[in-house]
Structure 1
Amino acid sequence: MPSTPETRRADAERRFWVGGVLMDAASYRARQAAAQARVRALRLTQAWIAAQIEATQPTVSQVLGGRDRLPRRRTDILPRIEALLDRVEAGEVVPA
């Protein structure tokens, strides 16, 4: 379906479950942007992240790049990325 102002507005108003939390699109986008900034700051590759969280690299790329539009099925990816980033920042996991 083509993107129109009406479909974008409907997507923005939609709420969905992400990691057990009901959130709106703006909150999801903010979490995506924060995760992307943390990945850059830690100089992690998307391939390494994908291997650690047992996801495909294209899926991780879509989530971190904001190209997943709205999560429909893979709502567990962003929380898994955030948990991995927490572990890296705490020194529990050392990137190879």
Structure 2
Amino acid sequence: MSKINLKLGKFHKAFITLEDIYLKPTTEDRAYIDATIRRFEFTFELAWKFLKEYFSQKGTVLHYPKEVIREAFITGIINDESLLCLLIVI
């Protein structure tokens, strides 16, 4: 399996676990909140690293999350709403 497919698979699994916790009823339990935040951080990390590898294979070398997100927006991989959410995070 190629490096990019491995990264995509890891991202997909992380996204599903994030979605699972997101779809559960919200609670003010600190452990629940911390777990949600941690899953988001982990999923975001895998997402930008997958995109970094994607662009690398296309010949564009990027090093930082903000560069990767910007390039994903410019190339149309992500849209305005997605970009706004991601830039708030980074």
Is the TM value for this pair above 0.5? no
TM-score by length of 2: 0.31
Judging by fraction of residues, say which structure has more helix: 2
Judging by fraction of residues, say which structure has more strand: 1
